[in-house]
Amino acid sequence: MTDRRRSDRRSRAQPIARDRRATDRRSRDRRTASRIPLDLWVEEEKGNELYFRRTGNVSLGGIYFEQTIPHALGTRVKLRFSLPGSTDVMEAAGEIVNTPQVKDGLGMGLRFTEVSPAVLRALGRYLEENAE
């Protein structure tokens, strides 16, 4: 068995295109659902802890929370919220999939993992009616 470190690829001089990030998959928006800005308070439950978070935007795929101390990536939470103009309480479960990559960064992105069809329909109607 050979040691892969002996043939270190970094020792070879290879030119790197200056616009490398322009073609890098990380530079593109990988979201599959369109989102709209929405300032909304959401009740978040993580185990026995209860938080109130303010959203920055929402989509059928998830929610982005602004100005909040993020949970660790992969953390699963339960959410309860009502859309503007509605008194219906919507419930969903999600997983933290995005946090700022800076030391004191605030905010976090959550991907829905469990959402009832009724909540998805109501959210879809709201997004369609309020799309810019």
Q: In this structure, what CATH number is given to the domain that contains residue 55?
A: 2.40.10.220
Domain that holds residue 110: 37-130
- How many CB atoms are located within 10 Å of the residue 10 CB? 6
71 domain-assigned: yes
Could you tell me if residue 11 is inside a domain? no
The SS3 of residue 51 is: strand
Nearest to 96 by CA among 113, 76, 66: 76
CB neighbour burial string for 39-73, b if at least 16 within 10 angstroms, e if fewer: ebebebeeeeeeeebebbbbbbbbbbbeebebbee
Q: Tell whether pTM > 0.75.
A: no
Gap between the Cα atoms of 77 and 96, Å rounded: 8
- Per residue in 47-80, pLDDT tens? 999 999 999 999 999 999 998 999 999 999 999 9
The count of domains in the chain is 1
